[in-house]
Structure formats: C-alpha cells, structure tokens
Amino acid sequence: MGLKTVCLLLLVVALAVYGQSRDRNQKKYKVVCYLGSWANYRGGDGKFLIEHIDPFLCTHVIYGFAKLAGNKIAVYDPYLDLKENWGLGAFQRFNNLKKANPQLSTLIAIGGWNEGSQKYSQMAGDPGARATFVKSCVDFCLKYDFDGLDMDWEYPANRGGQPQDKQNFITLLKVSSLLLS
C-alpha cells in the first residue's frame, strides 16, 4: 500500500467518524424556538407572521398561547388561531411548517403572564381536574396537529396561587408524563 492509499483510507475513516459523531450531536441537542402569536397584530417591522419562520432553524417550535377554561385547554384567540368563521388559521399554518421539515416538532404553550395562576392552582390541586386537563391536552394536540405541550404556568404559588402549588405542579407534570407516554 502506498502513502497516498493510506492517507486516503485515513481520510475516509476520519470523515466517517466525524459524520457519525455529528449525527449523534444533532439528535442530542434541541434548538427550541418560540412564536408569540400576538406578533401577528403588530404593525411595521414588529409584525411577525408564521410564514417568516425558517422551519429548518429549530428542532422544536412553540406557539404561544392556549388558555385554561373549565379545567381544559382552550383556544385563546379563535380569530387568529382557527380557520372557522373566516379566521386566519394560524394553528394550521403553524403546523404546516412540518411539511417543509418533517423532523420539526411543534408544540402549543398554555398559560403565560396574562393567564395568571389562580385557575392553574385550582386545577392542579384537584386530582379529577388534573385528569380532565391532561385528557383535554391530548385531544387538543391531536385535533390541531401539535406534537406536544409547553406548560407555561406563571407562577406556581404566586399571582393568585397557593403555597402547595409547587408540589401540585410537580404532580401535574408527573401525571401528564404518565398519561402522555
């Protein structure tokens, strides 16, 4: 074997090893991006539409927000989020990003600053209400084609919440994880 052949073989092996480690790293790390849906209503340079999202920039994209109503997840802004009644269909447009990049995961965020904490405190503190909530989240994600949920409860034990909220939040997440698995 000549020196050129040995160098070529070493190069091929190095590239193969580099490629494998690169693939593992791509699966290992998540790049999570977030869309505040209210940016649709801004004027001028602040306006940001779903169509402005590069579906290859992130591994996960979160749409904010849905809300809590009657211990169930609910649409926050029907005009923006849905197509019914001449709405803008943002949920569908958002989840269509997966057509361009099938590796992309889309999630819906529930909560946020405007929701406060009181409703979440009451729901998380009641086992029956927790079960209702989790089932509604599964149904919501299936209905609107989301891959998961971002629980944005701001903030357990504050803003109208109770001291036991922190433990109830952990219980809610554990129950959610078990039921969603």
- How confident is the model over 88-138, as pLDDT tens digits? 999 999 999 999 999 999 999 999 999 989 999 999 999 999 999 999 999
CB 86 within 8 A of CB 58: no
CA 170 – CA 7 distance, rounded (Å): 56
The pair of structure tokens assigned to 153 is 């409860």
Give SS3 for 150.
strand
Strand partners, 35: 63
Give, for 174, the enclosing helix (H) or strand (E): helix 165-180
pTM: 0.82
Q: How many CA atoms lie within 13 A of 168 on its CB side?
A: 24
- Pair 36, 85: CB distance under 8 Å: no
Give the helix/strand (H/E) hosting 73. Answer: strand 72-75
Q: Is the bond leading into 155 cis (omega within 30 degrees of zero)?
A: yes
For residue 11, pLDDT beyond 50: no
- Greatest distance between any 2 Cα atoms in the chain: 77
**For residue 146, is pLDDT > 80?**
yes
Q: Residue 163, SS3?
A: coil
pLDDT at 26: 58
Question: Which residues are catalytically annotated?
Answer: 154
What is the reported pLDDT for 12?
A: 42
Closest among 181, 71, 63 to 123, alpha carbons compared: 71
pLDDT in tens, 29-78: 999 999 999 999 999 999 999 999 999 999 999 999 999 999 999 999 99
Whether 121 contacts 168, CB under 8 Å: yes
Among candidate residues 171, 180, 135, the one with its CA nearest the CA of residue 153: 171
Using 50, 70 and 90 to split pLDDT, how confident is the model at 2? low
| Summary mean pLDDT of the chain | 87
Cα–Cα distance between 163 and 81 in angstroms, integer? 34
Q: What is the mean pLDDT of residues 153-169?
A: 89
Q: Higher model confidence: residue 162 or residue 2?
A: 162
